[in-house]
Amino acid sequence: MRTSSTPGIWLPIFAGLCASLVSIGLARFAYTPLIPALIQAQWFSAGDVVYLGAANLVGYLIGALLGRPLAQRWGNRTALRLMMLAVTAAFLACAWPLSVSWFFGWRLLSGIAGGAIMVLVAATVLPHVPASRKGLASGAIFLGIGLGIAGSGTIVPPLLSLGLQATWLGLSALALLLTALSWFGWPADSATPMAANADSTAEPTPPGVYLLFAQYAFMAAGLVPAMVFLVDYVARGLGAGAHVGAMVWVMYGLGAIVGPVSYGFLADQLGARIGIRVVLVVQAITLGLLSIADSFLALALLAVILGSFPPGIVPLALARVHELVPTHHRQQIAWSRATVSFATFQALAGFAYSALFNATGGHHALLFVIAGGAIVVALLLEQALRWLPSSIETRCGAN
């Protein structure tokens, strides 16, 4: 494994941060504060707007499956650059609501780029980072997600005052700027081909890895309602208006900034397995409270906690993969599969929640209760390790 000098590692980390900011932080989360405006401006019907939000989640699954093949074809660095350009183009195209299918296609493409980047970004940057700094580097890379969420809450409202088309054009310009700033920051692709260690895939996969895949899948199902419907819940469901909804989304974004660092700290201090357990308990309680909260103070506090979850579980799950899988190549494979598991349930949940939302006439609280149930299932799956034979428990890397 080749590592860079201490000053030199920060440019690849910055490139990784920009990639996660553009492809997840903005491409996915900037859509949430746009939902009320898209409905009120009658670009699309309320039902179509919700389904268009799910298009990005479907694309994320496709991108998670395509990430490694794209890297094998073009190399990690070129693939990452192309995916950031794809997000930029998608923002630009969404400035013209020609049809639902047009909008769906571009939202789908932005999701594909996000999934591919999520699979490739850590594998591209972390091999060039000294072992003593990998935790910090991982948190910094995925901090881009939180910055994108917070940025969407602060940038989108002023842009909306100029109109919806100007908002999409502004997001495209920002994505293009970040793509340009990160263009030369990506490290050179490793000279060792990805297939060089293919024989390592013949080694048995620890059962704990499959348990993590299942947990990660239910975590994905649990984060979708707040991620997609929180602003609409505050603005329309509670009748507080778009301005208050945007303020709550900013609090969600503040939580997202804190999430990667705080969850990484949990992994360092308690171990990733116990860290996951603690986080799941807190999130399940928070989602239950969100379904009954109506004051701004309560909503703001809950939004901070909920906002920490989507970006925070990424470095936490990655740390768990590193605990369970010994070699770098097998860690890449396991992380790719974990991302696919996450993306699959996220996409299915996106459409399921959208269908339920429309079928119930916009019953937000029910969605949050179901999301809390998904988190409880993930927590109960974690407890399954206690029932495994001790020899398997050891192989799972139990703490």
Q: At 1, is the pLDDT very low, low, confident or very high (cuts 50, 70, 90)?
A: very low
Greater model confidence, 172 or 131? 172
Determine, yes or no, domain membership for 198.
Answer: no
Instruction: Write out the DSSP string of 374-395.
Output: HHHHHHHHHHGGGGS-HHHHHH
Region 171-195 average pLDDT? 81
Residue type, 161: S
Region 236-255 average pLDDT? 83
Determine, yes or no, domain membership for 194.
Answer: no
pLDDT(195) > 60: no
Residue type, 141: I
**Residue 330 Cα distances to 196, 199, 200, 323, 348, angstroms:** 12, 10, 7, 12, 27
Determine, yes or no, domain membership for 199.
Answer: no
Residue type, 7: P
Question: What total number of domains does the chain contain?
Answer: 1
Determine, yes or no, domain membership for 336.
Answer: yes
C-alpha span between 43 and 36 (Å, rounded):
11
Lookup result for tokens 């171990």 = 271
Structure confidence at residue 131 (pLDDT): 64
User: Looking at the chain, how many residues does it have?
Assistant: 399
Determine, yes or no, domain membership for 2.
Answer: no
- Of the candidates 47, 59, 43, 56, the one whose C-alpha atom is nearest the C-alpha of residue 99 is 43
- pTM comes to 0.77
Whether residue 257 contacts residue 308, with contact meaning beta carbons closer than 8 Å, is answered with no
- Of the candidates 167, 144, 352, 351, the one whose C-alpha atom is nearest the C-alpha of residue 242 is 167
Q: At 261, is the pLDDT very low, low, confident or very high (cuts 50, 70, 90)?
A: confident
C-alpha span between 369 and 316 (Å, rounded):
24
Mean pLDDT of the chain: 83
Greater model confidence, 261 or 144? 144
Instruction: Centre a 10 Å sphere on the Cβ of residue 395 and count the other Cβ atoms it contains.
Output: 17
Determine, yes or no, domain membership for 220.
Answer: yes
Domain of 284, CATH number, reads 1.20.1250.20
Determine, yes or no, domain membership for 363.
Answer: yes
Region 279-308 average pLDDT? 90
Domain enclosing residue 23, as ranges:
7-185+206-395
What pLDDT, in 10s, does the model give residues 114-155?
999 988 988 888 777 776 666 667 778 888 888 888 887 778
Region 32-44 average pLDDT? 83
Whether residue 76 contacts residue 15, with contact meaning beta carbons closer than 8 Å, is answered with no
Determine, yes or no, domain membership for 292.
Answer: yes
pLDDT(2) > 70: no
Instruction: Write out the DSSP string of 104-137.
Output: HHHHHHHHHHHHHHHHHHHHHHGGGS-GGGHHHH
Structure confidence at residue 172 (pLDDT): 95
